Amino acid sequence: MRLPQALVNEWRHEPDWLAALPRLSAECAEHWNLELEEPIATPHSLVVPAADVVLKLNAPSHFEADHEADALVRWAGNGAVRLIARDDGRRAFLCERCQPGSRLWDAAVDAEDVVAELLPRLSIEVSQPQPFRHLADEAARWAEDVQHRYDVGDRPFERALLELALEVFASTDTRDGYLVNQDLHGGNVLRAEREPWLVIDPKPLVGERELDAVGLLRNAASEGEAAVRRWLDVLAELGLDQERARGWGVAHALAWGWSDDDGWADEHVLAARTIAAA
Ligand SMILES: Nc1ncnc2c1ncn2[C@@H]1O[C@H](COP(=O)(O)OP(=O)(O)OP(=O)(O)O)[C@@H](O)[C@H]1O
Ligand SMILES: [Mg+2]
């Protein structure tokens, strides 16, 4: 199998995993009796369609994806792709394939309507025992990281953004138990047949409902403040606290706004600023 170049670039610091991928995917194909097609050219994981399923393998250090399969199990196909099989040792799973699989943000439909139909079904309370990380624990780590990266970044952005993010992290509700997705956006909602649209690629946590807003707001921010305001209104209509959603939009854009290789990502800083101002 030829690995996508984007994947090889993204995981160049994990050469052992890259080297093992042809073997790992061949073992999955054998075990699950798959005829693998060409991998999708995507950087963050190995995604390989095979007839009516998709094989996905996540890198060992990609911890945000640790519980992707668990989230799909909890949703049980209701608004998201169904999990078909999993092999946690290989960090692999099989899920249903969306056909034609085009992405919501490329479609000529009202994305707000689609999300308004999906989100209430995805926003479920998680019963114990459950494997997910809690948002409050992530927030404690983000608070330290974001502060530190701000300090070493030589005033990478206005202090007010930092303070807003730290305030959100510090006030995280430690008891809320909703299954939330850090990566819900139009690139991870695909056209399907069983339902018109299905969510893929969750990066799940358990915590405050408003965290579901972060991917939607981050992506809306690239279109400007008016787009962010439209989404904030949709989210409020779905029962989310609008100011909390905005706060998480800013805080999470900064939490995910840094890479060790390149430092602060302009795109994320700009998203945080646009969400704060909208
Ligand atoms: N179940 C599926 N059915 C059809 N296509 C899929 C499915 N899962 C993934 N794909 C295709 O593969 C692409 C990448 O998948 P996915 O978003 O899960 O990977 P990822 O590496 O986590 O991506 P990223 O983090 O860049 O969003 C999707 O945009 C879609 O084109
Ligand atoms: Mg994706």
Entry pTM? 0.97
Q: Structure tokens of 100?
A: 């034609």
Ligand 1 pocket residue status of 58, Cβ below 6 Å: no
Q: Could you give the C-alpha distances from 46 to 40, 55, 201, 244, in angstroms and in order?
A: 7, 8, 12, 34
- Starting from the CA of residue 54, give the closest ligand: 1
**What is the total count of domains within the chain?**
2
For 106-135, what is each residue's pLDDT tens digit? 999 999 999 999 999 999 999 999 999 999
Looking at the fold, whether 83 and 141 belong to one and the same domain comes out as no
Looking at the fold, whether 35 and 149 belong to one and the same domain comes out as no
User: Across the 278 residues of the chain, what is the mean pLDDT of every consecutive 10-residue run?
Assistant: 96 97 98 98 98 98 97 98 98 98 97 98 96 98 98 94 98 97 98 98 98 98 98 98 98 97 96 98
Output the furthest CA–CA distance in the chain (Å, rounded): 54
Ligand 1 pocket residue status of 187, Cβ below 6 Å: yes
For 58-82, what is each residue's pLDDT tens digit? 999 999 999 999 999 999 999 999 9
Q: Which of 78, 96, 114 is the last residue of a domain?
A: 96
Looking at the fold, whether 111 and 140 belong to one and the same domain comes out as yes
Domain region containing 117: 104-277
- Starting from the CA of residue 193, give the closest ligand: 1
* Average pLDDT of every residue of the chain: 97
CATH code: domain of residue 201: 3.90.1200.10
Looking at the fold, whether 115 and 180 belong to one and the same domain comes out as yes
Ligand 1 pocket residue status of 135, Cβ below 6 Å: no
